[in-house]
Chains A and B, each alone.
Chain A
């Protein structure tokens, strides 16, 4: 791993009028790593990404991208980045190929270079067969792949992906993840936002957990789970409307109990032992499940809320 910092933020803030969307975050992204912003809706992930992408002015704190200041060197920064925004902004009336060619020109690439790159990228995005089709009727996954292909037209050093797979079906997500792994192997730095913990676990070497504009935890997915959760979780569902009433029944089992509206989560290093204890007390849940801890549990522990509601 290279320790050259592609992004360095200190006390970075974004305000919209009186509202603070990003409330003083410190972020370091190194060249070649896959870095994630994990957080629920409204956490300030997109606002952070748009500042890093040098399209949204910084309201406070310090930000350097490639060592440059976005306020004065925005164009130079953008020339070296690829951007996949949260919602696709393709021209759906144009063809797949036209979208790529037009975009390449914005980076000052010649027609010949763009045509060559477009061919490679269509292949990479598995869209060669649709090259001359209009974008509009394509599936969500195809449009997303086209947006990613488009973001690569300038051979960027770093790719900003804002919720790359939100709204896609599982198969489309896996195709996309596969493409992103390839990019990472090719040395492209990935900066990803997501509110899916499985995506963060799959893709990110390191991530920050964001909530209400602040960073509440930072580290590799594994380290975060080790630090903020137990090895296993026992999930219990009871035949009741509100699980709060059932919490007393399992009090003292495991290291910690979290109450969600539809289930109880018992945090413990051995789920089966905990389940035996529950049964020994004569408590009869409708269903039970032992699983490994995930980033979702980390988030729940740190904020008292679930990531996706």
Chain B
């Protein structure tokens, strides 16, 4: 009797079905806010290119003739593809994740179904990756129309930016799942994100940093992302970029292990 009862019930779901089901939830959530999001994504590159690229750029170009033989506009905008990916990643992996854990307990609702912690985490990260693709394509497209790039290779900046975003999002998912209150985010923003913007070679090359500070850049995902995006935009993809991509993949891989451990500890009690 027990055996017949145990074999009843629907067939197990494939990995694809499970991930699609989770992504479908974020698609519905996104459908509610897409208008505001698209407008923001258009305005953002426009303002960056106008203010930093043209505004600050004309000052820099006048006084020092650009950076390493490039106009400041062409130097800075590719880097901002990477920093934008970072900020999208932060937006998706901090308060959002905390909300799904603690406030409306969406993850617990998902875990009461056949979905596993891995499905819930991987599905959400897949949705974040799609958002990163969308945001990066829009940024590159708009900035390209404004003449911010010199090479078609800039298309490669899109996957580079997605990797950069995930290299932040995945470990931060893990970090957020360990928090009891949102004050932990202040630490993250004040001591990690803000300094990163300065040590990552976004606004000036890292060689300008004192030799003691330079290693900071090497261990941050942002610097690797910035270098990748910049090389792509210059059309000068070379061997070092493999190292940069490898560094981002390392953050993604280790981040995944940490995030999964942290999600399991938090959600399976």
Contact = CB atoms under 8 A, between A and B. Distances in A.
B29 A103 contact: no
A288 B24 CA distance: 61
Interface stretch (A85-93, A125-133, A198-206): A85-93
A107 B112 contact: no
B105 A89 contact: yes
Given A67-B2, A105-B21, A85 B9 contact: no
Interface residues on A, range: 35 or more
Interface residues of B, number: 34
B13 interface: yes
Contacts of B32: 93-94
Given A67-B5, A85-B112, A108 B10 contact: yes
Interface string A62-103: 001011100001111011110101010111111000100111
Contacts, number: 98
Interface in B1-15: 1-3, 5-6, 8-10, 12-13
Contacts of B114: 75-76, 78-79, 106-108
A108 B17 contact: yes
Given A66-B6, A94-B28, A107-B113, A56 B268 contact: yes
A103 B109 contact: yes
B9 A76 contact: yes
A92 B104 contact: yes
B113 A87 contact: no
B108 A108 contact: no
Contacts of A87: 105
A4 interface: yes
B110 A106 contact: yes
B269 A16 contact: yes
A107 B104 contact: no
B172 to A, nearest CB: 22
**Residue of B8, B9, B22, B269 with highest tally of chain A CB at under 10 A:** B9
Interface string B100-119: 00001110111111111000
A57 interface: yes
Contacts of B2: 64, 67
B95 interface: no
11 contacts: A16-B269, A57-B268, A67-B2, A67-B3, A76-B9, A78-B113, A85-B112, A89-B104, A102-B25, A105-B20, A108-B21
Given A67-B3, A154-B10, 19 more contacts: A4-B1, A53-B112, A55-B111, A55-B112, A66-B5, A66-B6, A75-B13, A75-B115, A93-B29, A94-B28, A102-B25, A103-B109, A105-B25, A106-B21, A106-B110, A106-B114, A107-B113, A108-B13, A108-B18
